[in-house]
Amino acid sequence: MSDQYQIDLEKYSLQKFKKSLQSRDLIPSRKCLKDELDTKSRILENSGITNLKELIDLLKTKQKIEQFSQESGLSIEYLTLLNREAKSYLSKPVRLDKFPGVHTHYLDRLEKAGIRNSRQLFAEAKDKSNRERLSKETGIPLEALNELVGLSDLSRVYGVGPAFARMIYDVGIKSVKAFVEYTAEDFIRIYEEQTQKKADFGVGEIQFSLELARELDIAVEI
C-alpha cells in the first residue's frame, strides 16, 4: 500500500521526471541536470530504471552512487544532484509549531497524544470520523483541528512550507483537493486579490506545485 502522505513514487515514471526537468526553471546549482538529458535518461532506462522509486533506491547511499557511477559512466556529482532533485519531490513532515497562528495549548494536547508533525496529524486525522474522535479525546475544538489538518494537508504540496500553507489557507484554499482545482494563473489572481499584495512567486512555480499536487492522494476533506 502506498504512503498517502507522499506521491506514489512507483507511479511517477522516469519519463515524467525527465519532462519535469526539461520544462522547469531549475535553481542555478541544478541547471546542469538538463545537460545531455536525453542521453543520460537513456543510460538510466538501459539500467532498468523506470520510475522515481527505483531511481531513489538506486542512489540511496554514497556507496551506491559511487558504484553506479563506475557502472554507468555518469559522474558522481551528476548522480548526487539527480538524487537530491528526485528526493525533493517527496513531502517532508512539518513540525506543527511551525505553522503560524496555531494556539500552543492545542499543540501541547496533540503532543500528549503523540502527534508532533504534519505527517502524524495527517495519518491520525485525515478522515472526518477520526478527526471528530481526536477532537473529543484531546478537547481541541473541531474547527481548530480542521484548520490544523488543512495546513498539514497543504504542506504536502511541493514548495509549500508552513508559512506559505498558512497564506494559502487564509485566502480560502483549505486542502489539496481545493488547491488542485485552480490553474496557476487563477491561484495568483486570487492570492493578490485577497492579500492586496503582488505575488512574489511566478506562474511556472505554482504550475509545477499543482502538477505534483495532482499526484498526491486526495485524502483530506475539510
Q: Which residues lie closer than 8 Å to 165 by C-beta, 6 or more apart? A: 94, 99, 151, 152, 154, 155, 157
Residue 2's pLDDT band (cuts 50, 70, 90): very low
Question: 125-138, pLDDT tens digit by residue?
Answer: 999 999 999 999 99
The share of the chain scoring above pLDDT 90, in percent, equals 95
Q: Which residues lie closer than 8 Å to 66 by C-beta, 6 or more apart? A: 76
Q: Which of 87, 121, 151 is the last residue of a domain?
A: 87
| Number of Cβ atoms within 10 Å of the Cβ of 127 | 13
Q: How far apart are CA 191 and CA 210, in angstroms?
A: 15
Mean pLDDT within 76-86? 98
Mean pLDDT within 14-18? 97
Is 219 within a domain? no
In this structure, the answer to whether residues 102 and 201 fall within a common structural domain is yes
Q: Which of 38, 57, 87 is the last residue of a domain?
A: 87
What's the number of domains the chain is made of?
2
> How many angstroms separate the Cα of 138 from the Cα of each of 98, 116, 134?
20, 14, 6
Mean residue pLDDT across the chain: 95
In this structure, the answer to whether residues 206 and 114 fall within a common structural domain is yes
Q: How far apart are CA 216 and CA 180, in angstroms?
A: 10
Is 2 within a domain? no
Q: How far apart are CA 85 and CA 202, in angstroms?
A: 20
pLDDT of amino acid 89: 96
Is 75 within a domain? yes
Tell me the whole-structure pTM to 2 decimals.
Answer: 0.93
Question: 184-219, pLDDT tens digit by residue?
Answer: 999 999 999 988 999 989 999 999 999 999 999 999
Is 1 within a domain? no
The full DSSP string for 58-77 is HTSSHHHHHHHHHHH---HH
DSSP 8-state class, residue 173: -
In this structure, the answer to whether residues 209 and 100 fall within a common structural domain is yes
Q: Which of 87, 115, 130 is the last residue of a domain?
A: 87
> How many angstroms separate the Cα of 27 from the Cα of each of 30, 65, 107?
6, 22, 35
pLDDT of amino acid 3: 66
Question: 85-105, pLDDT tens digit by residue?
Answer: 999 999 999 999 999 999 999
pLDDT of amino acid 221: 83
Domain of 15?
9-87
With residue 20 as reference, give the H or E element that holds it.
helix 14-23
In this structure, the answer to whether residues 169 and 207 fall within a common structural domain is yes
In this structure, the answer to whether residues 69 and 152 fall within a common structural domain is no
Question: 37-64, pLDDT tens digit by residue?
Answer: 999 999 999 999 999 999 999 999 999 9
